[in-house]
Amino acid sequence: MSGDGPSWWYQEYFPLDVFPNAVRLMVQQTADSLCVHPDMLATVALPIFGALIGNKRRIVTHQHTWTEPPRIWAAIIADPGAKKSPALSRLMAPLTKIREELDEYYEHQRTEWANLDTKPKPPPPKPIRFKLSDLTTAVIRDRLATHPKGILVYRDELSGWLESLSGRAFGAGGDRQLWLELWPENAELQVDRKADNESTVIPQAFVGLFGGIQPDKLRHIAGRDGDDGMLDRFLLCKPPFVEQVWGASQLDPVVADAYAETVDQLYHAACSEIGGRIRPRLVELDVGGHALAEDFFRNHYAQLNNYRRTSDPLTGMWAKCDAYVYRIALILTELWHICEETPEIVDEQRMFGAGQVIDYFKNQRAGMQNILQPAEYERAGPVHEAKVIEWLSNHDGKSTMTQLCRGPLQRMPAKEARAVTESLADKGHVQLTRVGKGTEVVLNR
């Protein structure tokens, strides 16, 4: 942080320093060993850690008007052959131990049930799972019933599932609406079975979700998607290309063990349970955390209000950042508490780190608008003019064309970017001045 306060805008890469060493080194060394970008691994670490914490913890927002669980949905946007599967498998490797523990407990329950002498016998116990690959709501209902702390769903390819929810009917059997209701802070899952006239309601339905999707398939899904904000609920990461080299570095076993220990401690963190329902421990912000939250939200709402005024397609994702910044702050707080024994309270550093992470995903989302809203971003228009005015307002009222093309006008053709600034100049909003071989753009106050 500088003397003028934190910089909340333009995190080009995922800020790995927000993680404690046990996580940061695992992400960096795994990325180096597989020749993938660390942004890919850092992104999927969030839903993994969030699900490990699950319903055991909730963060109290700075206004004390609501609490948030650490529920994260994320997707990696990459072409085939980008090594998504092997990279993500490395981060999920310690989850095998959790599966083995749950299998052992299930077998113990099964044995006890088999030895019951009572007649009629109660229904047999159901398998207990933490990590799933099945996205059907009936399976998720059954798993949440046996594992109320929460579950993690991983699909190597999310495209098939998203396409099934994005048809004209928005998914058969109301699945789309059920999934939309699984994202908010007080998610609840209700599944009705016509076959046996059974209806089940799962309160505190915690489902963390992540997977991969190819850019072309994402474009197709975005073109068919409704206006209910399904894709806005996902933190999207399109990691930069990394060249493959011979003799890449290896993952240090000590680093892998430290990461596995972190995973184990997060999953086994103490919590209260009454009647099969988890009572989460509430984690609050300290004075520094409150101050940083206020600074973040003042800046964030300025962006959001500007997007709403201009009906910018980024409005949906920006609106979800209210919840996501708190969810990420909670995850970072629990990680540092486990790894470095820091107090279990959201301080200035954890809130600042959460703000940096959110602005990384904002930047990622803005850079992917040519995929998600291709028609909107092929030509200059009022949306881009609003972005330039906001950028200039946040950069002392002036910028160069090069900086604009790397920021709010990124991925636009140079001719179209120039048309945006010329339109603003014609309307009297900015002045264009030739400086050397470039152009300076100055906001008229």
Establish if 402 belongs to a structural domain. yes
| Together in a domain, 143 and 271 | yes
| Together in a domain, 42 and 156 | yes
Provide the pLDDT confidence category of residue 224 given band limits of 50, 70 and 90.
low
pTM for this one?
0.81
Question: What is the DSSP annotation of 14-37?
Answer: --GGGS-HHHHHHHHHHHHHHT--
Q: Which residues of 230-240 are buried (b: 16+ CB within 10 A; e: fewer)?
A: bbbbbbbbbbe
- CATH number for the domain spanning 196: value is 3.40.50
The SS3 of residue 281 is strand
| Confidence (pLDDT) at 243 | 83
| Structure confidence by residue, pLDDT tens digits, 321-352 | 999 999 999 999 999 999 999 999 999 999 99
User: Which of 225, 254, 282 finishes a domain?
Assistant: 282
User: Which of 282, 299, 330 finishes a domain?
Assistant: 282
- CATH number for the domain spanning 399: value is 1.10.10.10
Residue 171 has pLDDT above 50, yes or no: no
Q: How far apart are CA 328 and CA 68, in angstroms?
A: 10
Q: Which domain holds residue 438?
A: 382-443
| Together in a domain, 273 and 415 | no
Number of domains forming the structure of the chain: 2
Any residues with CB less than 8 A from the CB of 51 and at least 6 apart, and which? Answer: 70, 72, 130, 150, 151, 152, 206, 207, 208
Q: Are strands 398-400 and 438-443 parallel, antiparallel or unpaired?
A: antiparallel
Establish if 22 belongs to a structural domain. yes
User: Which of 249, 282, 315 finishes a domain?
Assistant: 282
Provide the pLDDT confidence category of residue 227 given band limits of 50, 70 and 90.
low
| Together in a domain, 175 and 65 | yes
